Amino acid sequence: MDSYRHLSVSLLVLLALLGAVSHAEGFVSFNSLSSKRTLVVTVSMANNSDIKEVHTGQDSILVNWSVNASAPAIVDAKTVETRLCFAKESQTLRGWRKTDDNLKKDKTCLYKIQRQPYAPAGSVTYALPKSIPGAKYFVRAYVFNSSDLQIAYGQSSPNKINNTFTVIPISGRHGSIDAAVGVFSIFSVGSLFAFFIFENLYLKRKKAV
């Protein structure tokens, strides 16, 4: 029994040392933040309506965050950074979006929304740029300390599956271009039809001569 107790204590000490080393080397383990999910994060359309689908280059989203009243106080909080993150299904078979426990290597949240001085609550309106790829997303917020390391977080999806939304990319063509292509197609067909009629008339006149 004592041996198991000593083993448990040793494991706890080892985990604590690993956490301390990771901070000392300038990176943070996401698992070390699992007990520090102290921010409540919500995301909606810019007009506060429910969010399901948004279009790049057209729509904006509204991100709100606040400190969970039942969570421990955040010590040495300096800034809050919100990021757009891939939902689980949009990471499948896509190594360039892979989740890594080392937050310096993590590819879950590639797109920065905004970073601003820490406050117990805040919000940001984010216009989706055309460079954002089509996928399913959620929003995560990190609290950084004076050493610029993550010390707390929160996210709009509890598991990267529920409460996600779809970003639809622009088609890459303007409506006027589609209209011009349509007109040109009609003109081409009409020209081809007129050519056949003219050729048939010409051949009939040549035979008559």
Considering the domain boundaries, does residue 96 fall inside one?
Answer: yes
In this structure, is residue 101 part of a structural domain? yes
Q: Name which of 87, 106, 86 is nearest 29 in CA terms.
A: 106
Check pLDDT > 50 for residue 180: no
| Owning domain of residue 127 | 28-168
| 195 vs 198: CA distance, rounded Å | 5
The share of the chain scoring above pLDDT 70, in percent, equals: 69
In a domain, 124, yes or no: yes
Tell me the C-alpha distance between 32 and 152, whole Å.
9
- What is the identity of the amino acid at 91? Q
CATH of the domain at 147: 2.60.40.1930
Q: Phi, psi (5° rounding) for residue 21?
A: -65, -40
Q: Which residues of 104-142 are buried (b: 16+ CB within 10 A; e: fewer)?
A: eebebbebebeeeebeeebebebebeeebeebbbbbbbb
Q: For residue 174, is it within any domain? A: no
Confidence of residue 11 (pLDDT cuts 50, 70, 90): very low
User: What pLDDT digit, counting tens, does each position of 65-117 carry?
Assistant: 999 988 888 999 999 999 999 999 999 999 999 999 999 999 999 999 999 99
Total domain count, the chain:
1
Examine the pLDDT at 189 and tell me if it is beyond 70: no
The answer to whether 165 and 54 have CB atoms below 8 angstroms apart is yes
DSSP E strands in 11-59: the ranges are 39-45, 53-55
Residue 131 is predicted with a pLDDT of 95
Residue 198 maps to a domain? no
Is 37 in contact with 65 (CB distance < 8 Å)? no
DSSP secondary structure string for all residues of 88-102: GGGTTT-GGG---SB
pLDDT tens string 152-177: 999 999 999 999 999 999 875 444 44
For residue 71, CA distances in Å to 31, 52, 67, 128 come to 17, 29, 8, 32
